[in-house]
């Protein structure tokens, strides 16, 4: 099936749609509204098909909420969104990006992320620490340093 995807920043009013999309993909939707300005969306004919977000705290950021609908996977859309988010982070002065993943370890390793231990996750991400200690205890913690 052919599809044309448009990629762009989230707009005011997108928070509830993004949160519902993430929850439908098995990811937490909490906190989207707080970081809406750092979300990037992919739409196919106006329908949300993928997203990614950043939670920035000074020179640290958390890459979060990378999700792609099953019918749109396998064509590099997740990588494209992640790359766009990382480029934006670098332009905004972020020096280190963190993430937690259970399913995309290979993707992020190929982008330069390295394994990290939970204890090194900065305290500016308390919700992620709680998630990693709780229901996401299987998640891998990874980080990328901009040099």
Mean pLDDT of 40-56: 95
At 123, the pLDDT band (50, 70, 90 cuts) reads: confident
Can you tell me which residue has the tokens 């992919």?
42
Structural domains in the chain, CATH included, are 5-145 (3.40.630.30)
Indicate whether 137 pLDDT > 60: no
Pairing relation of β-strands 60-68 and 47-57?
antiparallel
More confident residue, 123 or 18: 18
14-18, 37-41, 59-63, 126-130: segment of lowest average pLDDT: 126-130
The pLDDT score that the predictor gives to residue 58 is 85
The pLDDT score that the predictor gives to residue 125 is 67
Indicate whether 3 pLDDT > 80: no
Mean pLDDT of the chain: 88
pLDDT digits (tens, 9 = 90+) for 54-109: 999 889 999 999 999 999 999 899 999 999 999 999 999 999 999 988 888 999 99
Alpha-carbon distance of 38 to 23, in angstroms, equals 18
């Amino acid at each position: 099936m052919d599809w044309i995807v448009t990629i762009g920043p989230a707009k005011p009013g997108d928070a509830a749609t993004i949160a519902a999309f993430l929850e439908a993909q098995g990811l937490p939707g909490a906190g989207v509204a707080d970081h809406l300005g750092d979300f990037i969306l992919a739409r196919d004919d106006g329908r949300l098909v993928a997203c990614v977000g950043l939670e920035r705290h000074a020179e640290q950021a958390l890459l979060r909420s990378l999700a792609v609908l099953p019918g749109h996977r396998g064509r590099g859309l997740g990588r494209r969104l992640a790359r766009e988010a990382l480029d934006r982070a670098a332009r905004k002065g972020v020096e280190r990006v963190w993430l937690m993943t259970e399913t995309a370890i290979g993707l992020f390793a190929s982008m330069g992320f390295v394994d990290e231990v939970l204890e090194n996750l900065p305290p500016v991400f308390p919700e992620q620490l709680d998630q990693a200690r709780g229901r996401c205890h299987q998640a891998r913690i990874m980080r990328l340093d901009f040099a």
